[in-house]
Amino acid sequence: MNRQSLTVVSGVIGELGQQLHHYAHLMRLHKPIGIWLLLWPTLWALWVAGDGSPNSWVFTVFVLGVIIMRSAGCVINDYADRDFDGRVKRTTDRPIATGNVAPAEALVLFAALSMMAIGLVLTLDTLTQMLAIVGAMLTVVYPFCKRFFVAPQLILGAAFGWGIPMAFAAQTGALPKLAWLMWIGTIVWALVYDTMYAMVDRDDDRKLGIMSTAILFGQADVFIVSLLQFIFLVSLFLVGEVAALGMWYRLSLLVVALLMLYQFGLIRNREPEKCFHAFLNNQYIGATVFAGIVLSYTFD
């Protein structure tokens, strides 16, 4: 191969690498916070449904599925918001907004990720497969809800918590009341952290006509978020009682309460940067609850 051919090949490889970088950026792989917020409730459910010892293949499928579906959700979200992201300060660098990824490319990428997720779920039982269809619908519907539904965070919460009933179905073949209690609690938690997230973009969202709970709650936002945090904490306590989790789990809830107080301190003056930091801090709440569950099954 001569020098000219090597140059051409090198250029093609470089362009391909750059485009793959744009696709990874579109999937938000450089911002794993969404993966953690989706993964933690799924892991809670897997451990509780499996009495502390989840099936290894089910665990693998759900971890990979969380990463894939979160990536797919980001892609379809940016496709839906392609006419808005360029006008919001926080999202101007998103690949579709900058023109680095064409809308048609985004749809192809979404389809490819969806096919990967389908391949994984087909290794599980029929009930879990049926639930996966609902989860996929929630993933697709959420990005478009911001145009007509005053509280799109409810749909986000339903989607982010849907791994819970799926995990119980895959692990036990049933959907006990405990699964739905955990799911409802996760919806409340999503209302908390995504309202914090929406507080960052509230002014831009008003101008663009995008709806959110930050706008819906208005000046009562901090109070309502605090109330929702309390409800979420109570739901976690009830989960522990129903699942017979012990001292370690209760201690983890004490840490969760302290994290919530810290978040209140961040959002009380509604400063965008601090509200975003409060949003990010929720990953530690998820991790703390999971640690409490694991320690309870291990030592209590």
CATH number at residue 258: 1.10.357.140
pTM: 0.93
In a domain, 4, yes or no: no
pLDDT > 90? residue 10: no
Question: pLDDT tens across 266-291, in order?
Answer: 999 999 999 999 999 999 999 999 99
Conformation bin of residue 124: beta by default, left when phi > 0, alpha when psi is -120 to 50: beta
| pLDDT for res 79 | 93
Burial class (CB in 10 A: 0-12, 13-18, 19+), 57: exposed
| pLDDT for res 70 | 95
In a domain, 253, yes or no: yes
Q: Average pLDDT over the chain, rounded to whole?
A: 93
In a domain, 16, yes or no: no
- Please give the structure tokens belonging to residue 6: 């090597």
In a domain, 9, yes or no: no
| pLDDT for res 12 | 61
Q: What is the mean pLDDT of residues 86-114?
A: 91
pLDDT > 80? residue 89: no
| pLDDT for res 91 | 85
In a domain, 166, yes or no: yes
pLDDT band at 102 (very low <50, low <70, confident <90, very high): very high
DSSP track, 181-202? HHHHHHHHHHHHHHHHHHHHSH
Question: pLDDT tens across 157-196, in order?
Answer: 999 999 999 999 999 999 999 999 999 999 999 999 999 9
pLDDT band at 75 (very low <50, low <70, confident <90, very high): very high
pLDDT > 80? residue 13: no
In a domain, 280, yes or no: yes
In a domain, 169, yes or no: yes
| pLDDT for res 16 | 83
Domain boundaries, position 104: 26-299
Cβ pair 198, 205 in contact under 8 A = yes
* Cα–Cα dist 261/253, whole Å: 12
| pLDDT for res 300 | 78
pLDDT > 60? residue 297: yes
In a domain, 8, yes or no: no
The total domain count for the chain is 1
